[in-house]
Chain A
Amino acid sequence: MDLYQELILEHSKRPVNHGLREPFDAESHHVNPTCGDEVTVRVHLSGAGDDAVVEDVSYDSMGCSISVASASILAEEVTGGTVAHARETYEAMRAMLTSKGEDPGDEEQIGDGVALAGVAKYPARVKCALLSWSAFTDALYQAEGAKQ
Chain B
Amino acid sequence: MTAAPFTDEELARLRADFPILSRTVRGGHPLVYLDSGATSHKPVQVLDAERRFYEHTNAAVHRGAHQLSEEGTDAYEAARETIARFIGASAGEVVFTRNATEALNLVAYAFTNGTHGGGGGRGDRFSLRPGDEVLVTEMEHHANLIPWQEACRRTGATLRWVPVTEDGRLDLTDLDELLTERTKVFAFTHVSNVLGTVNPVRELAERAHAVGALAVLDACQSVPHLPVDVADLGVDFLAFSGHKMFGPLGIGVLWGRAELLDEMPVFLTGGSMIETVTMEGATYAPVPQKFEAGVPVAAQAVGLAAACDHLTALGLDRVHAHEQMLTERLLRGLAERPWVRVLGPADLRERGGAVAFVVDGVHAHDVGQVLDDRGVEVRVGHHCAWPLHRKLRAAASTRASFAAYTTPGEVDALLEALDRVPAIFGTEVPV
Contacts and interface: CB of A to CB of B under 8 A. Distances in A.
Return the 9 tightest CB-CB contacts between A and B, nearest first: A64-B365, A64-B363, A35-B381, A36-B382, A65-B366, A64-B366, A35-B396, A1-B373, A36-B396
B426 A13 contact: yes
29 contacts: A1-B424, A3-B369, A3-B373, A4-B424, A4-B425, A9-B424, A9-B425, A13-B426, A35-B364, A35-B380, A35-B381, A36-B389, A36-B396, A37-B365, A37-B395, A37-B396, A62-B395, A63-B365, A64-B363, A64-B364, A64-B365, A65-B366, A65-B425, A66-B365, A66-B366, A122-B369, A125-B365, A125-B369, A128-B365
Interface in B329-375: 362-366, 369-370, 373
Given A4-B366, A9-B424, A36-B382, 11 more contacts: A1-B424, A13-B426, A34-B381, A35-B365, A36-B381, A36-B386, A37-B365, A37-B395, A64-B364, A66-B365, A125-B365
Nearest to A65: B366
A49 B424 CA distance: 44
A67 B369 CA distance: 14
A108 B364 CA distance: 32
A62 to B, nearest CB: 6
Interface string B76-99: 000000000000000000000000
A64 B362 CA distance: 7
Interface of B: 362-366, 369-370, 373, 380-382, 386, 389, 395-396, 424-426
Interface string A55-80: 00000001111100000000000000
A20 B373 CA distance: 35
A84 B269 CA distance: 54
B397 to A, nearest CB: 10
Contacts of B362: 65
Contacts of B373: 1, 3
A11 B424 CA distance: 14
A122 B373 CA distance: 11
Nearest to B420: A1
A2 B31 CA distance: 20
Interface in A1-17: 1, 3-4, 9, 13
B424 to A, nearest CB: 6
A63 B369 contact: no
Contact of B363 (A4, A65, A122): A65
A18 B364 CA distance: 21
A35 B382 CA distance: 6
A122 B370 CA distance: 12
Nearest to B372: A122
A37 B381 CA distance: 9
Contacts of B366: 4, 64-66
B369 to A, nearest CB: 6
A64 B368 CA distance: 11
A136 B265 CA distance: 48
B398 to A, nearest CB: 11
A1 B365 CA distance: 14
Nearest to A35: B381
Nearest to A62: B395
A3 B366 CA distance: 10
B350 to A, nearest CB: 26
A32 to B, nearest CB: 9
A7 B396 CA distance: 24
B39 to A, nearest CB: 16
B356 to A, nearest CB: 13
Contacts of B381: 34-36
B82 to A, nearest CB: 35
Interface in A106-133: 122, 125, 128
A4 B373 CA distance: 11
Instruction: Determine which residue in B370, B382, B395 has the highest number of CB atoms from chain A within 10 A of its CB, and name it.
Output: B395
A64 B361 CA distance: 10
Contacts of A36: 381-382, 386, 389, 395-396
A34 B366 CA distance: 14
Contact of B370 (A1, A34, A125, A128): A1
Contacts of A125: 365, 369
A35 B370 CA distance: 16
Given A3-B369, A35-B364, A122-B369, A63 B426 contact: no
Contacts of B369: 1, 3-4, 122, 125
A1 B370 CA distance: 8
A36 B386 CA distance: 8
Interface in A25-69: 34-37, 62-66
Contacts of A4: 366, 369, 424-425
A13 B427 CA distance: 10
Contacts of A3: 369, 373
Nearest to B361: A13
